[in-house]
Structure formats: structure tokens, C-alpha cells
Amino acid sequence: MSRGKNVLAVSYMGTKRHLAPVVADLVDDSQSGPLLDLFSGMCSVGQAVAPARQVWSNDLQRFAYLVATCQFCGRSDAPDRKWAEDQLVTHYSLHKQRLATALSREIDVELEALSEQSIERLSKLFEDGIFQANRISHGEGSRHQLFIDRYSGTYFGISQSVEIDAIRYAIDHLDGECAEKDWLLVALCSAMARCANTTGHFAQALNPKQSNIGKVLGQRMRSVWDEFLSAFDRLEAIGEPDWRAGNRAFQTEAASLLAELIPHAEVGVVYADPPYTADQYSRYYHLYETAILYDYPAARGRGLYRDNRPVSQFSHASKVRASIEQLIARTSRLKADLILSYPADGLLPSSRSQIGEMIKEHFGRPPEVFPIFHNHSTMGASKGDAKRQVTELLYRARS
């Protein structure tokens, strides 16, 4: 198979796709052994390195872990759309019809508002959706009606939520152990990314108004089922099965993982791309977690966030220095080379001098430093321009 793609087709907060070729070159010039990608995200670095060496991926987010598992560790290649449709269509159609019948009045109201392009009526559906979702407790709600109860009228239309819940119902009713279930869940997340009423992430849905009504209408008219089937044209595993058998995927906190691996000393090079702003990334992707876990969480605030979302110590101003130093120290004890990316103006103040000093202390010599200039997405421009130019610094420390 050829090298993979961003299979979710979403903007990813902190994505390093632009850095991946440079990182891959540095990895190629590092000591032998598996690459441990500590903050793997959508696996762009792993894709750039593969299949020259084994790739071990790690991420706190369940959906990112699932993407890495499918792409790098799967026993089989991604299924095609015909297989997916044949496996799911009966249960999907049954549950979709059941839900559509029970919600026929609500669906008609939404369709009328969409056909009239009524900002007032769509905004009312939006506010009603937030109000109703915030009243739901963890574990509450009708079975396989999770997205209807919590996210209809806001992130998705009512009819779209029916489709999401019907797809999830069909996946859960596959016969026996299905090795392709992970791929089906990844495809569902891809479809959600294509249909969501957002600016490209799930920090908050778009409340319909004059300035965004065109986008809202366009997103509401997409079929989740159609996008789900189309996703299988993009999904693919990386490398050959024998190579994938040597890869590993983890879902844990970065420093804890390094501590677990220290006694084994198998890793050749660690790539670390820690968060570098005060934003907790988990709020941008909480709906993917819910689609995968399908655990009926409470939905709180206007963003309808899950309870107990992963929290990174790298995004706390009072903890970021200690977190970075711990990462550097444990990589040194692992006797692996380290490639660390961090912007010049990240949350850690005077990061270039501080990181340089930490690496010198723990690796015994100053790091090589490679500046990369690029435009960084601010994920919706809530704090300024949609993109801003930053200087990314790549630090390489040899064991």
C-alpha cells in the first residue's frame, strides 16, 4: 500500500503535516530502532517515516489512537465501500426508519426551516438543542439515540443525527467479532467531519445567522450515510501486514509511557510534539470520542462538552516547564534520540534557551536546532487572525 492520508479529512489542532518531511529526514539520520511518536494526532509523521522503520504511536485521544491502530497496526487492509454497505445496510435502514417515524414531526419542522432558509427558526432549533442537551445526565437517554438527544439542531441536523445513530446501531449489531469494526468507526468520524455544522472542529457549533447561513444550509443538506460510504474511498492501511505486525499503538500520557518503556530500551528515536498553547485540545474533538465510545455522556455548556475530557499538563502555564523537562529526562534514560518540536512563542517562556539548557543537562550536549517558518491555523480565529506566521523550532538531541 502507498503511504496514507489524513483519513479523517479534518483540520487537526497542532497538526504537523507541514513538518513531517523534515522530521522524517531527521529520523532517518538518527539511531536505528522504532520511532515513538508521542503525540501522534493524525499520524502525519508516522506516515512520512513509514515503512523505513517501525512506528509506535501514542495519543491521549481515543479517536487518534484508533486512527493509528487502523493505519499502522491493523491485521487487514481497510474494507471497501461495498463490503461496508452490505454489512450494515439492513440494520442501518431498520433503525433509521424506526427513529424517523418516532421523530417525524421534529424532522418536518427542520425540513421546513431549511427549505425556507429561515435563520430565526434554525436558530431556535439550535438554542432548543443546547437547552435540551444540557438537561441530560451521564448514561441517560434512549438506546442508540445518543446523537439525537444530545447534538441534533446544533452540530448536526435532526435527520443527520438519525443517520449517525443508525450507523452506530448497525456497527454494534455486526455478527460476532468483526476485525473491521475500528475502520467502520473511523469512517463514521470522517463522515461527521464532512457534515458537521462547525468551522472545522467541535469547540462549538455554528449558531445560524446572516453571516454563516450559507455554510449552515450547505452542511445540513449533506447525508451522513453517503459521506460514510465515501470515506472508504480514502481509507487505507500503511505498509504491508508483516511490517504492521511490528508496530504498536498506545493511548496514555506521554511521560508515563516513557517511564513504562525505559526498562525495555527498544525505541531508537522519540518524536515529541507537545501542546504549546493554553487550549486543551480535547474540546476540539469531543464528538469523535463520543461517536467511538458511544457511552451516553453528559453534554455541558454551549460546546456540549463531555465530562472528564483528557487534560494535558503541557497546556498549564505553571506545569509546562516541568512537563517538558520530564519528557526530555525520560527520553534520555530510554537512551533514544529525541526530536522535539516547539514554537518560539509557545506557552513556555524563552523556550529556545530553556529547552536548550534542559537538553544539554540531560543529554550531555546542546541540541541541534532547526528553525521552520510556517503559517499556523488558530482553529476558528477566536483569538485573532485565522492564520498567523510562527517560527517552529525542531530540536534534535542524540543519545
Number of CB atoms found within 10 A of residue 308's CB: 10
Asked if 42 and 175 sit in the same domain, the reply is no
Asked if the model's pLDDT at residue 5 lies above 80, the reply is no
Residues 109 and 220 in one domain: yes
Amino acid type, 293: L
Cell digits of residue 58:
501514542
Residue 120 domain-assigned? yes
Q: Is residue 215 part of a domain?
A: yes
116 and 175 both lie in a single domain: yes
Give me the number of domains the chain comprises: 2
| Residue 337, domain CATH | 3.40.50.150
Residue 60 grid coordinates: 491521549
Instruction: State the residue range of the domain holding 371.
Output: 20-76+236-275+312-397
**Tens-digit pLDDT profile for residues 291-300:** 999 999 999 9
Q: Which residues pair with 376 in a beta bridge?
A: 388
Bridge partner list, 343: 392
385 confidence band (pLDDT: 50, 70, 90):
low
Q: Which of 231, 264, 293 is the last residue of a domain?
A: 231
pLDDT of 4 strictly over 60: no
Tell me the pLDDT band of 243, cut-offs 50, 70 and 90: very high
Q: Are 302 and 130 in contact (CB under 8 A)?
A: yes
Model pLDDT for residues 48-81, shown as the tens digit of each residue: 999 999 999 999 999 999 999 999 998 889 999 9
How would DSSP label each residue in 207-223? Answer: PP-TTTHHHHHHHHTS-
Classify residue 1: in a domain, yes or no. Answer: no
Is 348 within 8 Å of 358 (Cβ atoms)? no
- pTM for this entry: 0.91
Say yes or no: 327 and 261 in one domain.
yes
Distance, in Å, from the CA atom of 236 to the CA atom of 233, rounded to the nearest integer, reads 8
Task: Indicate whether 289 belongs to any domain.
Answer: no
Same domain, 44 and 28: yes
**Which of 198, 231, 264 represents a domain boundary (last residue)?**
231
Are 47 and 238 within 8 A, CB to CB?
yes
254 and 191 inside one domain: no
| Distance of alpha carbon 321 from alpha carbon 124, whole angstroms | 45
Cα end-to-end distance, the chain, whole Å: 33
In this structure, are 343 and 243 located in the same domain? Answer: yes
Instruction: Decide if 359 is inside a domain.
Output: yes
Give residue 308's pLDDT: 79
- Closest by CA to 157, choosing from 165, 148, 166, is 148
Same-domain status, 146 and 182: yes
Q: Domain check: are 251 and 365 in the same one?
A: yes
Same domain, 257 and 327: yes
For 121-138, the pLDDT digits (tens) are 999 999 999 999 999 999
pLDDT at 45 over 70: yes
Same domain, 270 and 379: yes
